[in-house]
């Protein structure tokens, strides 16, 4: 009994040790990215590591790119999104199960690198190597657009499973049904999306004596 | 070939008798991707050396590349050659040294047949499964902005359960930076902060729970700091070297030399550029140019260079020749076009008792290649080399055909060639072939002959569809044109096969160069010679055991035009075993047999045994011990001269220590040689000591060394050499180094030969 107790303690201890290891890294960020870890909340920047169950909240015109520790997948979090990352180890692979409460993400996943799932309020999106976008609106309905591979969507309430293949897009309506359509490649062009785009407006003023002055206004446009 | 044979013999005898004694302790192996430095020690006669050249090639290649070094000071006797493109080599590197004396004589090491029995340096491929277990998370090619502060993050998630976290070391630019890294059991993060601009490398080294060492790939990154040059992303360096030899004993004249190197490169949007200027005080009018100038512009599909370049078209067309002019390289996925036009220099000195200098040769080369380089490619090319008659002083040109020194007559040379290569199984199987024909006119001093002149000369009527005078711009046709006859005499061809399966690198090549094939733009091409080379390099037992076998067969007189045929067979085998990271062992044997139908026979063999041990248990100073033994045995059986027997045994013991509590690194080396040349015996003892301090956070590195050498036997001499010097990192991008050296030489048999010397070197390197 004593041995079993010690063994159990060791397992718990090792689990605790693993729990203190980072599971992902913020590769790039812009704007305001808030991370909530247990009770603490702070603004994260590029280069910071993320731990299991960390919640990321992106503000207006903000984004973050997250890379998992097994190097298998990148997730780009778009503005006004809330994502919780959760991982577990199985047979030497890292299973990644993220919860997207609202907003949208772009995920690039390598094949045979453990489970990759995105949990939305109504559905679970799971893949085995692909590139896809998941978007959750304020009503909790999901839109999934797939660039490569095949994505499986499982409705939590009905248990129905729908497959979305490359080039297709499905949109969940208020009744929990899916509408299929073709997607456009421009949806996956993430090079500027979410990043600030500065434009300059110049207004020329002239006073009574004829002197001219210019007011320059810089503003960010999406 | 007989002349060649005697020349080799003379070279060898000179090596033994001249007062230049070279020593090289071969390196066992280096991991693939590591920098390679090859040392040559000049034990005697450094003051008589004009130039030292390292010739090297990847195993299986036909042509050697070369690196030249200026001679060192009389007190600085170890020369280090850095292989510039070492990280691209997959097979081993074969190399030999050539030393040119002030009197234009050559000494090589290995002394006999260095081209066919070169030294071999194994390239050990990294242990793939463990190396790939390290994953670079950041910097990420797609997302990282290098101009901002960023982090380095490496994951060893796959090794999480087997790695010893306490042993993890993060090496940045070769230095341990672990104390500034966040180390977790699955990942390491290093906040880069203010790292100097330029190229940097980093690597992770760790121990597994079973005590074995694992290393990550050595990653490289380039950091661009915003400054006034950031618009052009301009980087580069300037290096100034000076050398002064002080005459202390009136035996050796004073000497001053200097050289300046300036390199720069940059990129602006789609256009990249790089430039290089090398100026040396050794540049003289009547010799091959030493100075180099080049400016290149690079785009995604087109590279253009003005200035000096050594284009590599193929073995027979254009290889190893510096061409000063214009070069272009248009490259698409399925098509590539190279063109070069400019002047090369063909040396004609050393053939007679005068120093004639060089012919300026106009060289034009073009090569088109079709197909993907990782699939099937077919290439076709042309090279033309024509000496400028006016480029050589008139008194040195001998237009008279009865004069046999063709080298001092202006020549015209055209080579046409085609080649193919085929890569299969993701380039693990490569095969290829190349064939070329040549036209050579050995004397174009009087220009082309007209049809009438040819008819008068041959006393026959010719019904030619063209007048040779009209073709003069393509090829000068006159009585000195090398006859082009059907058959293989004017043809050179080469076939090769390379495979890499199951850690076994096999390379087979066969080449034959006809007796009338001549290429003035391919250095070191031996006419009338066939070469079969087979190299096999096997790594087994997790790369611990390396086996290398090399066979080379050379034969001349391919068209049976000579009285004497010479055949050479070389066998070279080497076994290297690494018991563990601390202990390695090597044994090598090579044999060279030259059989001459004129009854001149040469046999030589070298047996080499070496071992090394890293004594890491001695915590005060981790020490690397190494021991090498080499036995040389040569036997010359000559018909026209005295038979020649030469035996030499060489023992080297060395120890290199790094002290843990002191910023000190020391070296100790003892060498003993015993050689017997016919009935004459000679021995050699050398003791070498060196200490290097590392101060001011490695910015100041003073050092001193002392070498005591003694030759005994038939002639007895003693030398003492010393060096005092330091390197100092003045600023982040500025490095100064200086060295004061001295030599005291005593000849016990002839006091008049005694001399003392002092030298001073200064070097400044400025990166920008």
Span B337-347, pLDDT tens digits: 999 999 988 87
Do B74 and B156 reside in the same domain of the chain?
no
Do B317 and B440 reside in the same domain of the chain?
yes
Report if residue B598 sits inside a domain: no
Instruction: Give the CATH number, domain containing residue B318.
Output: 2.40.160
Tokens standing for B258? 């200097």
Cβ contact B144–A18 (<8 Å): no
Q: Which residues in chain B are contacts of A70 at CB distance < 8 A? A: 135, 155, 157-158
Q: Report the residue of chain A nearest B155, measured CA to CA.
A: A69
Do B484 and B366 reside in the same domain of the chain?
yes
Q: What is the pLDDT of residues B516-559, one digit of tens each?
A: 898 988 877 888 999 999 989 888 887 788 898 999 999 998 88
Report if residue B473 sits inside a domain: no
Asked whether residue B248 carries a pLDDT value surpassing 80, the answer given is: no
Q: What is the pLDDT of residues B710-745, one digit of tens each?
A: 988 877 889 999 999 999 988 878 899 999 988 888
User: Regarding predicted confidence, which is higher, A20 or B264?
Assistant: B264
Do B331 and B398 reside in the same domain of the chain?
yes
pLDDT of residue B312: 85
Cβ partners under 8 Å of residue B235, min gap 6: B197, B198, B224, B229, B264, B265, B266, B767, B768
Q: Report the residue of chain B nearest A76, measured CA to CA.
A: B143
Looking at the domain covering A22-194, what would its CATH class be?
Answer: mainly beta
Q: What is the pLDDT of residues B570-629, one digit of tens each?
A: 998 989 898 887 888 989 998 989 888 777 788 889 899 999 998 888 888 999 999 999
Cβ contact A21–B184 (<8 Å): yes
Q: How far is the C-alpha of A191 from the C-alpha of A181, rounded, in Å? A: 24
Q: Report the residue of chain B nearest A18, measured CA to CA.
A: B185
B611 phi and psi angles, rounded to 5 deg: -145, 150
To the nearest whole percent, how much of chain A has pLDDT over 90?
Answer: 12
> Residue B406 — very low, low, confident or very high, per pLDDT cuts 50/70/90?
very low
Q: What is the pLDDT of residues B465-501, one digit of tens each?
A: 878 888 888 888 888 888 877 788 889 999 999 888 8
Among B183, B216, B249, where does a domain finish? B216
Q: Report the residue of chain A nearest B188, measured CA to CA.
A: A22
Per the prediction, chain A carries an average pLDDT of 77
Q: Does A65 touch chain B (CB under 8 A)?
A: yes
Rounded to an integer, the average pLDDT of B133-157 is 77
pLDDT of residue A10: 44
Asked whether residue B659 carries a pLDDT value surpassing 50, the answer given is: yes
Rounded to an integer, the average pLDDT of B17-31 is 68
Buried/exposed B199-221: b ≥16 CB within 10 Å, e otherwise: ebebbbebbeeeeeebbbbbeeb
Among B99, B124, B149, where does a domain finish? B124
User: Regarding predicted confidence, which is higher, A83 or B462?
Assistant: A83
Per the prediction, chain B carries an average pLDDT of 82
Report if residue B370 sits inside a domain: yes
Expressed as residue numbers, the domain containing B190 is 128-216
Do B382 and B523 reside in the same domain of the chain?
yes
pLDDT of residue B2: 43
pLDDT of residue B421: 94
Cβ contact B184–A22 (<8 Å): yes
Cβ contact A69–B137 (<8 Å): yes
pLDDT of residue B9: 41
Q: Report the residue of chain A nearest B154, measured CA to CA.
A: A69
Global pTM reads 0.62
The partner residue sitting opposite A65, judged by closest CB among B143, B151, B153, is B143
- What's the CA dihedral at A189, A193, A198, A203 to 10 degrees? 90
Task: Sketch the domain layout of chain A as residue ranges.
Answer: 22-194
* Interfacial A residues in 100-159 facing B (CB < 8 Å): none
Asked whether residue B14 carries a pLDDT value surpassing 60, the answer given is: no
Asked whether residue A126 carries a pLDDT value surpassing 50, the answer given is: yes
Q: Does A18 touch chain B (CB under 8 A)?
A: yes
Q: Does A16 touch chain B (CB under 8 A)?
A: no
Asked whether residue B13 carries a pLDDT value surpassing 50, the answer given is: no
Do B159 and B176 reside in the same domain of the chain?
yes
Rounded to an integer, the average pLDDT of B748-760 is 85
Report if residue B639 sits inside a domain: no
**The tokens 């042509």 sit on which residue?**
B63
Q: What is the pLDDT of residues B298-337, one digit of tens each?
A: 998 999 999 999 888 888 998 888 899 999 999 998 999 9
For chain B, what is the domain count? 3
Comparing CA positions, the residue from B690, B730, B726 lying closest to residue B707 is B690
Do B81 and B45 reside in the same domain of the chain?
yes
Do B435 and B533 reside in the same domain of the chain?
yes
Do B393 and B534 reside in the same domain of the chain?
yes
Do B146 and B77 reside in the same domain of the chain?
no
Report if residue B290 sits inside a domain: no
Among B542, B577, B596, where does a domain finish? B542
pLDDT of residue B136: 87
Cβ partners under 8 Å of residue A210, min gap 6: none
Say yes or no: ipTM exceeds 0.85: no
Q: How far is the C-alpha of B379 from the C-alpha of B401, rounded, in Å? A: 38
Cβ contact B189–A69 (<8 Å): no
The pairs formed by B304-307 with CB atoms below 8 angstroms and a separation of 24 or more are B304/B328, B304/B329, B307/B276
Q: Which residues in chain A are contacts of B157 at CB distance < 8 A? A: 69-71, 94
Q: Report the residue of chain B nearest A45, measured CA to CA.
A: B150
DSSP 8-class letter at B448:
P
Cβ contact B157–A28 (<8 Å): no
Rounded to an integer, the average pLDDT of B411-420 is 94
Cβ partners under 8 Å of residue B129, min gap 6: none
Q: Which residues in chain A are contacts of B140 at CB distance < 8 A? A: 27-28, 67, 74
Q: Which residues in chain B are contacts of A18 at CB distance < 8 A? A: 160, 185-186
Q: Alpha helices, DSSP H only, in A1-48?
A: 2-19
Q: How far is B32 from chain A (nearest CA, A)?
A: 24
Asked whether residue A5 carries a pLDDT value surpassing 80, the answer given is: no
Report if residue B104 sits inside a domain: yes
Compute the count of residue pairs across chains A and B with CB atoms less than 8 Å apart.
67
User: Regarding predicted confidence, which is higher, A19 or A99?
Assistant: A99
Asked whether residue B279 carries a pLDDT value surpassing 90, the answer given is: yes
Report if residue B80 sits inside a domain: yes
Do B366 and B440 reside in the same domain of the chain?
yes
Q: Within 13 Å, how many C-alpha atoms sit on residue B205's CB side? A: 11
Q: What is the CA radius of gyration of chain A?
A: 22
Q: How far is A206 from chain B (nearest CA, A)?
A: 37
Q: How far is the C-alpha of A107 from the C-alpha of A145, rounded, in Å? A: 11
Cβ partners under 8 Å of residue A142, min gap 6: A120, A121, A122, A123, A125, A134, A135, A136, A153, A172
Cβ contact B187–A21 (<8 Å): yes
Q: Within 13 Å, how many C-alpha atoms sit on residue B672's CB side? A: 3
Cβ contact B184–A70 (<8 Å): no
Q: How far is A166 from chain B (nearest CA, A)?
A: 23
Do B24 and B87 reside in the same domain of the chain?
yes
Q: Which residues in chain B are contacts of A67 at CB distance < 8 A? A: 137-138, 140
Cβ contact A27–B157 (<8 Å): no
> Residue B87 — very low, low, confident or very high, per pLDDT cuts 50/70/90?
low
């Amino acid at each position: 009994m004593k041995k079993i107790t010690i063994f159990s303690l060791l397992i718990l201890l090792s689990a605790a040790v693993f729990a203190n290891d980072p599971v992902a890294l913020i590769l790039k960020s812009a704007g305001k990215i808030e991370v909530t870890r247990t009770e603490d909340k702070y603004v994260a920047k590029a280069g910071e590591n993320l731990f299991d169950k960390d919640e990321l909240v992106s503000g207006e015109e903000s984004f973050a790119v997250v890379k998992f520790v097994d190097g298998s997948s990148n997730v780009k979090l778009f503005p006004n999104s809330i994502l919780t990352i959760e991982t577990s180890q199985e047979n030497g692979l890292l299973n990644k199960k993220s919860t997207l409460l609202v907003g949208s993400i772009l995920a690039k996943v390598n094949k045979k690198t453990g489970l990759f799932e995105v949990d939305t309020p109504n559905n679970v999106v799971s893949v085995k190597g692909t590139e896809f976008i998941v978007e959750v609106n304020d009503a909790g309905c999901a839109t999934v657009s797939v660039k490569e591979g095949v994505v499986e969507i499982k409705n939590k309430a009905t248990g129905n499973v729908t497959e979305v293949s490359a080039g297709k897009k499905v949109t969940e309506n208020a009744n929990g049904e899916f509408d299929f359509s073709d997607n456009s490649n421009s949806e996956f062009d993430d090079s500027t999306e979410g990043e600030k785009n500065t434009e300059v407006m110049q207004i020329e003023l002239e006073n009574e004596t004829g002197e001219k002055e210019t007011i320059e206004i810089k503003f960010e446009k999406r | 070939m007989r002349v060649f044979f005697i020349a080799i013999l003379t070279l060898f005898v000179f090596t033994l008798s001249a007062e230049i004694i070279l020593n090289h302790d071969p390196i066992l192996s280096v991991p693939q991707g590591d920098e390679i430095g090859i040392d040559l020690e000049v034990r005697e006669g450094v003051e008589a050396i004009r130039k030292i050249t390292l010739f090297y090639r990847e195993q299986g290649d036909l042509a050697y590349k070369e690196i030249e070094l200026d001679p060192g000071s009389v007190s600085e006797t170890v020369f280090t050659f850095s292989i510039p493109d070492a990280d691209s080599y997959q097979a081993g590197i074969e190399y030999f040294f050539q030393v040119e004396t002030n009197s234009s004589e050559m000494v090589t090491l290995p002394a006999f047949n260095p081209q066919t029995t070169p030294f071999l340096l194994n390239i050990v491929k990294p242990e793939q499964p463990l190396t790939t277990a390290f994953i670079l998370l950041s910097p990420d090619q797609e997302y990282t902005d290098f101009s901002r502060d960023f982090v380095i993050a490496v994951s060893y998630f796959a090794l999480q359960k087997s790695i010893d976290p306490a042993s993890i070391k993060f090496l940045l630019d070769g230095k341990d930076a672990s104390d500034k890294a966040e180390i977790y059991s699955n990942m390491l993060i290093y906040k880069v902060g203010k790292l100097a601009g330029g190229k940097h490398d980093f690597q992770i080294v760790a121990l597994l729970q079973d005590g074995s060492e694992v290393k990550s790939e050595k990653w490289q990154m380039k950091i661009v700091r915003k400054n006034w040059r950031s618009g052009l992303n301009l980087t580069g360096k300037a290096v100034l070297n000076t050398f002064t030899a002080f005459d202390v004993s009136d035996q050796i004249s004073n000497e001053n030399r200097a050289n300046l190197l300036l390199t720069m490169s940059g990129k602006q949007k789609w256009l990249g550029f790089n430039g290089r200027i090398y100026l040396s005080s050794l540049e003289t009018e009547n010799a091959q140019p030493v100075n180099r100038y080049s400016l290149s512009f690079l785009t995604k599909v087109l590279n253009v260079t003005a200035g000096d370049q050594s284009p590599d078209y193929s073995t027979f067309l254009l290889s190893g020749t510096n061409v000063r002019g214009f070069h272009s390289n248009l490259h698409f996925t399925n098509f590539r076009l190279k063109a070069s036009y400019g002047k090369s220099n063909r040396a004609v000195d050393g053939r007679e008792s005068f120093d004639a200098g060089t012919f300026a040769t106009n060289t034009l080369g073009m090569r088109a290649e079709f197909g993907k380089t990782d699939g099937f490619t077919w290439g076709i090319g042309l090279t033309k080399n024509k000496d400028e008659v006016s480029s050589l002083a008139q008194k040195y040109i001998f237009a008279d055909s009865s004069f046999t020194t063709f080298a001092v007559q202006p020549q015209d040379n055209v080579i046409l060639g085609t080649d193919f290569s085929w890569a299969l199984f993701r380039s693990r199987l490569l095969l290829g072939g190349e064939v070329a024909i040549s036209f050579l006119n050995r004397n174009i001093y009087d220009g082309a002959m007209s049809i009438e002149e040819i008819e008068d000369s041959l006393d026959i009527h010719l019904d030619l569809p063209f007048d040779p005078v009209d073709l003069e711009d393509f090829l000068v046709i006159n009585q000195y044109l090398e006859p082009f006859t059907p058959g293989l005499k004017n043809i050179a061809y080469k076939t090769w096969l390379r495979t890499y399966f199951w850690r076994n690198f096999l390379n087979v090549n066969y080449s034959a160069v006809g007796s009338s094939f001549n290429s003035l733009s391919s250095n070191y091409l031996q006419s009338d010679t066939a070469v079969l080379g087979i190299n096999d390099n096997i790594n087994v037992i997790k790369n611990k055991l390396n086996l290398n076998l090399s066979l080379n067969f050379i034969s001349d007189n391919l068209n049976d035009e000579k009285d004497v045929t010479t055949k050479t067979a070389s066998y070279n085998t080497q076994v290297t075993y690494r018991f563990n990271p601390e202990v390695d062992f090597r044994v090598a044997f090579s044999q060279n047999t030259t059989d001459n139908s004129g009854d001149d026979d040469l046999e030589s063999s070298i047996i080499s045994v070496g071992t090394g041990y890293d004594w890491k248990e001695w915590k005060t100073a981790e020490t690397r011990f190494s021991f090498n033994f080499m036995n040389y045995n040569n036997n010359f059986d000559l018909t026209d001269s005295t038979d020649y027997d030469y035996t030499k045994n060489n023992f080297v013991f060395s120890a290199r220590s790094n002290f843990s509590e002191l910023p000190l690194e020391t070296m100790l080396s003892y060498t003993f040689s015993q050689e017997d040349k016919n009935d004459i015996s000679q021995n050699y003892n050398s003791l070498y000591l060196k200490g290097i301090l590392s101060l001011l956070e490695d910015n100041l590195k003073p050092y001193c060394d002392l070498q005591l050498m003694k030759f005994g036997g038939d002639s007895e001499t003693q030398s003492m050499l010393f060096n005092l010097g330091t390197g100092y990192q003045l600023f982040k991008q500025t490095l100064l180094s200086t060295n004061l050296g001295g030599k005291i030489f005593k000849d016990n048999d002839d006091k008049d030969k005694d001399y003392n010397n002092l030298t001073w070197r200064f070097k400044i390197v400025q990166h920008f």
